[in-house]
Amino acid sequence: MSRLGEKFTKEKVLLALAAPLLALVAAFLLSSVVIAATGKDPLHAFVVMIDFGSKSDSQVWIINKAIPYYLSAAAVAIGFRMNLFNIGVDGQYRVAAFFAAVVGGALSLPGVLQIPVIILTAMAVGAVWAGIAGVLKTTRGVSEVITTIMLNSIAGSLIGYFLSEDRLAVKDGNLFHTPNLPASGHFFTIPTDPKPVYGTVLIAVVIGLAYWFVLGRTRFGFDLRAVGRSEPAAAASGVSVRRMVVTSMLLSGAVAGLVGMPTLLNESFNYGTDFPAGVGFTGIAIALLGRNHPLGMAFSALLWGFLERTGIQLEFEEYAQEIVGVMQGVIVLSVVIAYEIVRRYGLRIQQRRVGAELAAEARTGEKAEVGA
């Protein structure tokens, strides 16, 4: 059997497809039950969602919404691949976006410089914010779950402190926000009908490719995954686990710093009290849903956007507004459970096959012996 054949046997493909299918069917059924329990017609709800979600303005909305979701998921996934739970992407991207907005608002450079300066500021701030957790973990042994969630709160307070008129913000009606970016700080958009797609989608694509390449194809990525799979084995193989923890937290934070960029550079052009929050937590769900896979996370980010977009329409049709949240939760749970079931099943089959092949080998061996 050729190597390709070995990698893509029918059974493997089936197993790979089984998990997402199982998850989707389960999520569909469970959501239907919930909708039916509220006394509404579940089938009609799905028809409305598909109908509304496939309109062209919905599609643009979904793509634009999915960009920060994807970046956030990538940031979380870097931690996941190394068995670190960076729950603080939320704080990291808000602090990063805030300081990037301040720097961008204060400078007035040509676009080729202005935009990279803003982006690099965001990445650096995000990395520093996450790096604090990494350093605390390696030097003091504090769990990154605790530190990153604490740093989320601190991030909120820090931004609140600076976001006032006498410090770094301007007042605009009831809202405070940082000074607007000059036009040179506006990222390009891709003209589509009726509204344009944000050009920052390119950043997401680049991050996705880099994620795939660095983790799957480089020594660094192998070391990172090795630490994630087994810390003692990685240490014995020559990886400095402490350095790896700090490096991956810095990387995760740098990517988290990008999460605010689509909003800042394509939409709001400033950081205000109405800047979207909570995207970091959405990223956790999307990373789980996408199994930390660059393409999987892209699909789940889009799915998330789709659910949010169509949820608005469901409300008009007098469905409970919480129904979308329920669906999102059900999908994540179904996916996690379905993958685990399929993984165990696959492992059992694999082990049984190892046994069967060895037994077959033994039989032919014995025949040969008899023959000889």
CA atoms within a 13 Å half-sphere pointing along the CA-CB vector of 221: 11
Sequence-distant (6+) residues with CB within 8 A of 211 are 74, 77, 78, 294
Report how far residue 146's alpha carbon sits from residue 172's, in angstroms, rounded to the nearest whole number: 36
Stretch that binds other proteins, among 38-46, 146-154, 252-260, 354-362 (CB under 8 A): 354-362
**Cβ(114)–Cβ(184) under 8 Å?**
yes
Helix residue ranges, H only, 38-176: 42-53, 56-81, 89-106, 111-140, 144-162
Using rule CB under 8 A, residue 218 touches other proteins:
yes
Task: Give the per-residue contact string, 41-80, with other proteins (x = CB under 8 A; - = no).
Answer: ----------------------------------------
Applying CB under 8 A, which part among 114-122, 140-148, 265-273, 348-356 lies near other proteins? 348-356
Of the candidates 69, 277, 238, 50, the one whose C-alpha atom is nearest the C-alpha of residue 159 is 277
Query: Measured between alpha carbons, how far is 110 from 112 in angstroms, rounded to an integer?
Result: 6
116 binds other proteins (CB under 8 A): no
Question: What sign does the dihedral 171-172-177-181 (CA atoms) show?
Answer: negative
206 is a site residue for other proteins (CB under 8 A): no
One of 6, 165, 193, 318 touching other proteins (CB under 8 A): 6
List the one residue from 359, 368, 370, 372 that touches other proteins (CB under 8 A): 359
Find all residues with CB under 8 Å of 280, minimum gap 6, and list them. 72, 75, 76, 87, 88, 89, 90, 91, 92, 93, 152, 256, 259
Min dist. Cβ of residue 100 to other proteins (A)? 26
Residue 217 binds other proteins (CB under 8 A): yes
344 binds other proteins (CB under 8 A): no
Minimum CB–partner distance for residue 328 and other proteins (Å): 28
Supply the minimum distance, in Å, between the C-beta of residue 353 and other proteins: 6
DSSP conformation class of 179? P
Asked if 239 is part of the footprint of other proteins (rule: CB under 8 A), the reply reads: yes
- Residue 80 dihedral angles phi and psi, to the nearest 5°: -60, -45
With CB under 8 A as the contact rule, the residue among 232, 370, 371, 372 that binds other proteins is: 232
Near other proteins by CB under 8 A, which window of 106-114, 186-194, 230-238, 280-288?
230-238
- Does the bond joining 232 to the residue before it have cis omega, within 30 degrees of 0? no
Q: Does 247 bind other proteins (CB under 8 A)?
A: no
| Beta bridge partners of residue 190, listed in sequence order | 197
Q: Does the protein bind other proteins through residue 219 (CB under 8 A)? A: yes
Residue choice 146, 214, 326, 337 for contact with other proteins (CB under 8 A)? 214
Pick 173 or 232: Cβ nearer other proteins: 232
Q: Does 350 sit near other proteins (CB under 8 A)?
A: yes
Binding site for other proteins (CB under 8 A): 3, 6-7, 214, 216-223, 225-226, 229-230, 232-240, 347, 350-355, 357-359, 361-362, 369
